[in-house]
């Protein structure tokens, strides 16, 4: 201990003997170096400014465009530059009744106008992130000093001095790394933003941009992820929980750390009281109602262990009600616009699918396939240990199905179920990717072609008898019987194979192919690829 005091005494004596060096020259040198470094960063900002401000302008225009669409303004596709990417927006697929049936995204984001954002959410942001927001011009020197004092007393970084404008600049224009250069650059960006946009615009851009964890960006996507509702429907405590996530999404998200999130929400509610936005008794009552509403359960130590918050993440947050159909659309869009635009360009796709009927069709197909699989599994169990049992088990695993329903008057697709399930292991669409013989369902087209060519009439008589066509093709009727002379009308009604083959032999494949090509709107290549000249 004595040696320690001797060292301290020597240091103090040296400082006293070199007062000018310690208190004037060294601080002055540091200030000069810092000023020079700031000047270098400023020159870098000047070279980037036009590009950065253009990015900011396009982001603001995106929000304005969203607000205009909600007000009923119409746009042509040519008015929107799909490749002018500012932030990633999901592509959404809608059914005929404007229900979302699918989304493609890398970042889950929904842009909403400022009018959708509750006043209490804005107040919570002010109270917790930037109380001087309406007074400063981009940089809060008072906030910086306050954060410095708090961090000094805690001996660690617990509070930041960045304003909301600086945080917006950081996310839009910097690499997010904690470096002095980034902080200086961010300050210049913030000052420029404040010159060009009012406080409401800055808040709107900020709250639509920032990350809230679990792939969600912006308050609208986060509200749906946590609570299953739009941001405009949130109550005060729900707003507080969302704002509480901003400072550290991993640590304060109710999905990844419920207890931390609940405690942070309580502190945000206290901040609202301290800032004069809520009365103490009102805040406490609302917080209790919030815990009851979302069934927050605490353990014996008072830690929140479970709740209903975030239970919407797979239902409302990630929408895929018609998996095979949506994948078909994704491939079409990717071929036309590119994969990057599909996942980030915010396309809106309207389809003829009826979401309610799609849900019913999907359930019906799954129940039907499952029933058949269970039948073969029961037979496999019955013949367990034998080759027949193994064959039945193989049959069970290979059973699949598909279902499509159309509007017979318009040809619009109402439901499209391409298989039992859609996963990373199984993406085969049995509607569009599997080629099978249409069988007897094709006979009406053959008869229609022959009637149109005036080769037959519904009353024409054709002999149903055992016949060999060509060299060795000898079809049989399903029941193995032959009816002799029969009208075309009866032959079609009874699905007689011999008569159908005689009709196509009489009228020729050219007439039939012409009807197929027109009816299915096929090119010559598609027609020759999918249909062959075979009587079977």
**Which whole number is the average pLDDT over 2-25?**
70
pLDDT at 286: 94
pLDDT digits (tens, 9 = 90+) for 379-409: 988 888 888 888 888 888 889 999 999 999 9
pLDDT at 16: 72
Q: Which residue has the higher pLDDT, 511 or 57?
A: 511
pLDDT at 75: 41
CA dihedral 211, 215, 218, 219 (to 10 degrees): -110
**Contact (CB, 8 A) for 89 and 111:** yes
Confidence of residue 317 (pLDDT cuts 50, 70, 90): very low
pLDDT at 314: 42
Q: Across the chain, how many H-helices and E-strands are there?
A: 22, 11
Reduced to 3 states (helix: H, G, I; strand: E, B; else coil), residue 474 is coil
DSSP code at position 22: I
pLDDT at 128: 85
pLDDT at 372: 93
Give me the residue spans of the domains in the chain.
Answer: 2-57, 108-306, 439-530
Supply the DSSP string of 238-299, one letter for each residue.
HHHHHHHHTT-HHHH-TTT-HHHHHHHHHHHHHHHHHTTSS-HHHHHHHHHHHHHHTT-EE-
Strands 108-109, 216-217: pairing kind: parallel
Tell me the pLDDT of the chain averaged across its residues: 81
Q: For residue 32, is pLDDT > 60?
A: yes
The residues, any chain, with a CB within 8 Å of residue 471's CB and separated by 6 or more, are: none
Topology given in CATH for the domain delimited by 108-306: Penicillin binding protein transpeptidase fold (1.10.3810)
The residues, any chain, with a CB within 8 Å of residue 258's CB and separated by 6 or more, are: 296, 304, 305, 306, 307, 309
Percent of the chain scored above 70 by pLDDT? 81
Q: Which residue has the higher pLDDT, 27 or 223?
A: 223
pLDDT at 221: 85
The residues, any chain, with a CB within 8 Å of residue 108's CB and separated by 6 or more, are: 90, 215, 216, 217, 221, 225, 317, 318
Nearest to 208 by CA among 138, 114, 90, 307: 114
User: What gap in Å lies between CA 224 and CA 102, rounded to an integer?
Assistant: 15
Q: Is the dihedral of CA 347, 352, 356, 362 positive or negative?
A: negative
User: What gap in Å lies between CA 185 and CA 169, rounded to an integer?
Assistant: 9
pTM here? 0.56
pLDDT digits (tens, 9 = 90+) for 262-278: 999 999 999 999 989 99
User: What gap in Å lies between CA 526 and CA 521, rounded to an integer?
Assistant: 9
Q: For residue 67, is pLDDT > 60?
A: no
**Best-predicted range by mean pLDDT among 163-167, 188-192, 277-281?**
277-281
Confidence of residue 80 (pLDDT cuts 50, 70, 90): very low
Determine the CATH number of domain 439-530.
3.40.710.10
Confidence of residue 157 (pLDDT cuts 50, 70, 90): low
pLDDT digits (tens, 9 = 90+) for 473-515: 888 888 888 889 999 899 899 988 888 888 888 888 888 888 8
């Amino acid at each position: 201990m004595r040696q320690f005091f001797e060292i301290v005494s020597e240091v103090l004596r040296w400082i006293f003997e070199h007062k000018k060096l310690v208190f004037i020259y060294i601080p002055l040198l540091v200030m000069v170096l810092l000023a020079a470094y700031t000047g270098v960063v400023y020159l870098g900002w000047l070279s980037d400014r036009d590009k950065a401000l253009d990015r900011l302008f396009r982001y603001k225009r995106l929000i304005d465009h969203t607000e205009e669409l909600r007000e009923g303004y119409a746009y042509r596709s040519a008015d929107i530059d799909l490749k002018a990417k500012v932030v990633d927006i999901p592509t959404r697929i809608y059914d005929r009744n404007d229900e979302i049936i699918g989304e493609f995204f890398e970042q889950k984001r929904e842009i909403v106008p400022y009018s959708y954002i509750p006043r209490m959410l804005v107040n919570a942001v002010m109270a917790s992130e930037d109380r001087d927001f309406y007074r400063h011009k981009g940089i809060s020197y008072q906030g910086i000093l306050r954060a410095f004092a708090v961090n000094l007393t805690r001996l660690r970084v617990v509070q930041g001095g960045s304003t909301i404008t600086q945080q917006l600049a950081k996310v839009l224009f910097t690499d997010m790394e904690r470096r002095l250069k980034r902080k200086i650059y961010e300050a210049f960006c913030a000052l420029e933003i404040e010159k060009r946009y009012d406080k409401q615009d800055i808040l709107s851009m900020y709250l639509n941009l920032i990350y809230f964890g679990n792939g969600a960006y912006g308050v609208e996507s986060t509200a749906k992820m946590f609570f299953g509702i739009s941001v405009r429907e949130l109550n005060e405590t729900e707003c507080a929980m969302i704002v509480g996530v901003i400072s550290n999404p991993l640590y304060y998200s109710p999905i990844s750390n419920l207890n931390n999130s609940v405690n942070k929400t309580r502190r945000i509610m206290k901040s609202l009281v301290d800032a004069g936005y809520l009365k103490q008794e009102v805040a406490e009552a609302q917080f209790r109602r919030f815990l009851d509403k979302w069934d927050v359960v605490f353990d014996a130590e008072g830690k929140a262990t479970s709740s209903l918050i975030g239970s919407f993440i797979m239902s409302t947050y990630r929408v895929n009600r018609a998996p095979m159909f949506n994948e078909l659309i994704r491939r079409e869009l990717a071929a036309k616009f590119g994969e990057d635009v599909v996942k980030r360009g915010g396309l809106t796709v309207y389809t003829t699918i009826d979401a309610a009927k799609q849900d019913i069709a999907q359930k019906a197909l799954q129940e039907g396939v499952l029933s058949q699989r269970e039948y073969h599994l029961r037979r496999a169990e019955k013949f367990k240990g034998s080759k027949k049992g193994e064959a039945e088990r193989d049959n069970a695993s290979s059973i699949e199905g598909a279902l499509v329903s159309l509007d017979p008057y318009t040809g619009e697709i109402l439901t499209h179920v391409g298989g039992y399930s859609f996963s990373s292991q199984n993406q085969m669409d049995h509607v569009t990717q599997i080629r099978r013989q249409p069988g007897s369902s094709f006979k009406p087209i053959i008869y229609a072609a022959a009637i149109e060519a005036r080769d037959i009439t519904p009353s024409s008589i054709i002999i149903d008898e055992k016949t060999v066509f060509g060299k060795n093709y000898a079809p049989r009727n399903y029941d193995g019987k032959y009816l002799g002379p029969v009208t075309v009308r009866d032959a079609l009604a009874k699905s007689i194979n011999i008569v159908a083959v005689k009709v196509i032999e009489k009228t020729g494949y050219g007439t039939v192919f012409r009807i197929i090509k027109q009816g299915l709107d096929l090119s010559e290549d598609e027609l020759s690829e999918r249909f062959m000249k075979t009587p079977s």
